[in-house]
Amino acid sequence: SSGSLRLVGGGSRCAGRVEIFQRGTWGRVLAEQWDEQEASVVCRQLRCGEAETAYNPPKAERGTGPVGLRGVRCAGHEASLSLCNTSLAESALAAG
């Protein structure tokens, strides 16, 4: 399945670090370049309106714990983060 998203540590439901729920656990979402395109998709998926800012913390501030998605690249028009060009931390999904 596409998994569920949440934002944590930002003070409201529509702010914070992106996490995805897959295979029974919440994991971080990592992107080399997290910008307005990716943030817009997350905000749309969570029904939070348009993204105001895209925060890309330095590596030391990205937190610890399991990684759910890495290498996220969105065009900005996708309906959900799972439709972006992503690499699952574990290759559990087959193409096609």
**Which pLDDT belongs to residue 32?**
75
| CA 53/CA 87 separation, integer angstroms | 24
Following DSSP, what letter does each residue of 8-52 receive, concatenated? EESSSTTSEEEEEEETTEEEEE--SS--HHHHHHHHHHTT--S--
> Mean pLDDT over all residues of the chain?
80
Which CATH number is associated with domain 4-88?
A: 3.10.250.10
| CA 58/CA 22 separation, integer angstroms | 25
pLDDT digits (tens, 9 = 90+) for 38-81: 999 999 999 999 888 887 777 776 677 788 888 888 999 998 88
Following DSSP, what letter does each residue of 56-71 receive, concatenated? ---GGGS--S-EEEEE
Query: pLDDT band at residue 88, thresholds of 50, 70 and 90?
Result: low
